[in-house]
Chain A
Amino acid sequence: MKTSMSRRTVLRGAGVALFLPWLEALAPRVARAAAGSMPRRLLVCAFPNGAPHDWWSTAPAFGKSVSGDAFQLPNVLTPFQPLKHKLMMVSRLGNYTWSHNGESPSPSVEPSHARCMSAVTTCIDADEVARKAKLPLDSAVRSTTSVDQLIAQTLQGQTGLNSMQTGLGVKPGFFDYRSYAYNQVLSWKSPTEPLKRNVNPRVIFDALVGSGNAQTPTELARLKAREKSVLDAVREDMNRIKKRVSSRDQQVLDQYLTTVRSLELAADEVSSTCRALAAPGAVPEPPGPQQGLSQGQDGYDHELHADVMNDLITLAFECDRTRVVTHLLDDARSEFEYRNIPAADRTRVGLSYNAGSSLHYHGSQHGEGELADTVENGQYKIIKPSNRSFAAINAWMGRKVAELALKLDAIPEGDGTVLDHTTLVFLSEMRTHDHDAFDLPILIVGGNGILKQNTHISYDSVGNDRQLRDLWFTLMRRVFGMPVTSFGEDVRGVANAELTEILA
């Protein structure tokens, strides 16, 4: 007898251990590793609202780089210390060349939350795309295929799930009078198909384990037959419905039919097991802006939520269920109050511990702190240091991503680890308190030996800086071996060029 589904969001309860289906057993993965064909994975961990000034406290001067012992991690990133030799910080990249505020491109993009987040993996101005398509900005869902999906397309059919979109945004904020698609999406399968981040570990888990928890071959056969029968019947049903509806409605039905086909493939793949994992509890999707969960509400714990997602992403890579994951650490312009942040993260950045303080993410972004766009001693001048609440939230997010990286680094693969064969890009869509789209905080771990490590590279100051589109362009060409000739937009008409400085 199953327990009844409760709306309480207990994340890690007494779940039944389900066996994970996967394509190949562990042995073939090791064999493939020995054969020298290492997987190349992409993991984008994006955080909204920019970083406190602490992020750049150890950055080299504009146009310079530091490596080895001279390269130090800033206080907000110290949990990455054990992996420092496997990572690289890349500073002073912008993502504004697509921006179109009136007559000339500007690094100030408004409304910043929606437009910057929608650009972080696409490097185009979604508003401009909508305007060109004559769609109203308040409901348009239009962008371009994102970098992770371009990479995923080249891996089509190699893993059970082509890509996975996870997230931790349980209390989204105001959407800047635009569709959810800009604040809650990192992956665009096509210019009209946003793949929204999924905050519900239960759904991710179901996708990872496929269609069931069969423990014996007989059970497995019965389960497959049942699933096949449902899918067959649904497909026939849709062919009947299509005859009776308009061509406009047929398009919607075709979108469903495509999914049913992919579910059919997944049902066929149910075979061997990788490793057991307890089924996580469910977290409800927030029903809309300014709605959702707060820390402690109905037993919800944000720390645990982040841990469970880390476990699932690790499992997805370990069992080779997918090689492309985008993980959105919070929705753009989140209304979440980070009351969950433990004293250790707070004191690391000098925030005196106060159990009652709200740690409202967007509120602290608008709190004290001001970074100039003028230059002083090879750095941007700090006019007012960032408030400590904003720093504490960033320190917490850094720790959760570091913990994920460490989990991946603990899984051996070939001569190295799963992390070595992953390009983990930890970045934000905007700079800092100012909501600007230049000087983005970026950290890259792993990279299949193709990227520099134990290094901090700074590009030039705004105006002479390089752009994020060139980073994605370089990663696609060099790490993923894709023959792309351009990515993103630049209203000045400047062509893409590789960031050769980041290559090993």
Chain B
Amino acid sequence: MRLDSASKRVGVCLLLGLSACEGSSFLSLSDSNRGEGETMPAHLLTASEYNATVQDLLGVTSRPADYFPAASSSEFDANVGVLASLSEVQSEAVFNAARDVVAKAFESPELTARLVTCTPASDTDAECPKSLVTTLGRRAFRRSLDDEEVAAYLATYQKARQSLEMGHVDAVAHVLRVMLSSPSFFLRIERPGPRKDALESAALASRLSYLLWGSMPDDALLAIAESGKLDDDAELIAMTDKMLEDPRGQRFVSQFLGQWLGTVRLSSHNVDTNRFPQWTPEVAKGVEAQANAFLSGFVTGTTPWKEVFLAPHPANTAIQPLLAADPTTFQRRGFLTLPAYLALSSHSDRTSPTARAKGVITSLFCTDMTPPPGVVTELPPEEGQSPRTVRERLEAHRRNPSCAGCHNMLDPLGLSLENFDPVGRYRTLDEGHPIDSSGVYEGIPIANVSELLPLLAEDSRLGDCAPRKLYSFAMRRSLVPEDEPRVARLSATWKAGTLRELLHHVVVSPAFRGHAEEAP
């Protein structure tokens, strides 16, 4: 008897307990922002945002935040719920980083000249210091400074000149250090706007730039946002496109897609190179470049997301050693047969069909596979003398009824990818045994992965999942129950088109703009 997928999922839920049910993990966040017409809670820049912001502001490429105590969240690193509490060590780290990066910028005459763009004509010339405070402050705080702030930073400058006996350049460095030590710099603080506006107009510039560039807005973006022009949908969409075409737009691919689909982990992925000498640093770089090129096609190209399991692979000569054993009759296509995915979803020395399948189910289909308490989630490494195939060991695992619920769904998917080793090379033998990549997926028998991919591509969860992920990334928080109709609307209008189109829908949504929601 073939069960339809919905009732199958109910079965899994019963077996796994509530945590495996879609939507059931949405508990109310008492102090979290529900989305519409409100400011985001003040929160730290993520490590990558801090690094990029310092680079865009000062020209310093030292990546100071790599040394910060990280606040890792389970989904995206920008999850405000995790970033909104500031521990003592984090505070100290940002305070010390401000001192160090400003010192570093001012070690370079070239960077100093870019920052200190004027010299006072005399000791009483207040115009030059004032213009520096105004321009540098506006960039660092991602909004125009209030009059009170301009006066205060000017006073800091004067004090540095007089009582600290600093020269002009040192005093500007001193002021910049204070600015970078200010929460207005290292926190994202959204201030309420004038009148009934939920946010200051400049806040939209930061929402856009941290979404698309993973960094601060530039002068032009700030100016347009502060002018109010981005209130117009067409202007906002045009700006989004323009920002994606900028080289900084690549950070959207590497941050959003990289975290969602795991490709950010490639650079530190462990491979047992004694067993897989083909995985050289050059090949590893090629694998990452190919994955990013593949994913960029959905953002800056015209490939619709519904093609993610079927789209052709970008050519990459560096990864040829991994493709050498591909049968001539076999054409790699789609995300799952990228060496990047196949390696990332493997252990350093063996494949993990469960991890490979779980990646699809949890990441691309947004179906929660949290195991119930007490269930072993690891396949033990091989023991004893006679090597057994992963399939045999999995079947042993599946005999345990508490494991079977998930594994009946996972295994056909994962085992169909067994023709690929832990670095993504095609193989027909595992530990000397012939590989059987057949199975039954959702009631339909499949002989191999080529037969599976079209079935996955038809799954409606594919088009429902991406909007959830992008909405969560853009709003920097987990979804709450009130978001359900919003993401449902997004997936209905988007219809699994390109990710650029999905971005258009997200940026014009009332929640992203901080507008109060109109009555339906």
- What residues of chain A have their CB less than 8 Å away from a CB belonging to chain B? 1-2, 4-5, 7, 101, 108, 110-111, 134-136, 138-139, 141, 165, 171-172, 175, 177-180, 189, 192-196, 198, 200, 202-203, 206-207, 222, 225-226, 229-230, 233-234, 236-238, 240-241, 244-246, 248-249, 252-253, 255-256, 258-260, 262-263, 282-294, 297, 335, 337, 356, 358, 360, 362-363, 366-368
- Residues of chain A with a CB closer than 8 A to B178's CB: 230, 233-234, 237
User: What 8 pairs across the A-B complex have the smallest Cβ distances?
Assistant: A259-B91, A249-B42, A284-B66, A110-B373, A180-B72, A255-B86, A136-B27, A356-B274
Contact A255 B87, beta carbon cutoff 8 Å: yes
Q: A193-B88, A248-B42, A256-B86 are in contact. List 19 more A-B contacts (CB 8 A).
A: A134-B27, A141-B85, A165-B89, A177-B74, A179-B82, A189-B87, A192-B85, A229-B159, A229-B174, A244-B192, A249-B39, A252-B41, A263-B95, A282-B67, A283-B67, A287-B72, A288-B77, A294-B270, A367-B383
A134 to B31 alpha-carbon distance, docked (Å): 11
Q: In the complex, what's the smallest C-beta–C-beta distance from A311 to chain B, in angstroms?
A: 18
Report how far A288 CA is from B177 CA in the complex, Å.
28
B378 near A366 with CB under 8 A, answer yes
User: Of residues 369 to 422 in B, which have CB atoms within 8 Å of A's CB atoms?
Assistant: 370, 373-375, 378, 380-381, 383
Kindly name the residue among A135, A141, A262, A288 whose own CB sees the greatest number of chain B CB atoms within 10 A: A288
Min distance, Cβ B332 to any Cβ of chain A, angstroms:
25
Tell me, yes or no, whether B23 is within 8 Å of chain A by CB: no
29 A-B residue pairs with Cβ-Cβ distance under 8 Å, sorted by A, are A101-B373, A134-B27, A136-B26, A139-B82, A175-B74, A177-B370, A193-B87, A193-B88, A194-B87, A196-B89, A200-B67, A203-B92, A229-B159, A234-B182, A237-B149, A237-B182, A240-B146, A240-B148, A244-B192, A253-B42, A256-B183, A287-B47, A287-B264, A288-B264, A289-B72, A291-B267, A363-B347, A367-B383, A368-B383
Q: Mark B30-71, 1 if CB is under 8 A from A, else 0.
A: 110000000101110001100000000000001100111111
Shortest C-beta distance, A264 to chain B (Å), equals: 11
Any A CB within 8 A of the CB of B25: yes
Residues on the A chain within 8 Å of B79, using CB: 139
B interface residue numbers (CB < 8 A to A):
25-31, 39, 41-43, 47-48, 62-63, 66-75, 77, 79, 81-82, 84-89, 91-93, 95-96, 99-100, 104, 107, 146, 148-149, 152-153, 156, 159-160, 163-164, 174, 177-178, 181-184, 187, 189, 191-192, 264-265, 267-270, 272, 274, 347-349, 370, 373-375, 378, 380-381, 383, 478
Asked whether, in the complex, the Cβ of A135 is within 8 Å of the Cβ of B27, the reply is yes
The 8 Å CB contact of A284, one of B67, B95, B100, B348, is B67
B184 touches A288 (CB 8 A): no
A110–B62 Cα distance when bound, in Å, is: 41
Complexed CA–CA distance, A289 and B259 (Å): 11
Closest to B30 in A: A134
**Residue of B30, B183, B348 touching A253 (CB-CB under 8 A):** B183
On whether A139 and B96 interact (CB within 8 A), knowing A111-B373, A192-B85, the answer reads no
B346 to chain A, nearest CB (A): 12
A237 to B184, CA, bound (A): 9
- Which of B30, B43, B183, B272 sits near A238, CB closer than 8 Å? B183
Contacts of A172 in B (CB 8 A): 72
Chain A residues contacting B374 (CB-CB under 8 Å) are 101, 108, 110
* Assembled-state Cα–Cα distance A259/B72 (Å): 21
- The CA of A175 and the CA of B377, in the complex, are separated in Å by 13
Smallest CB separation, B382 vs chain A (Å) = 10
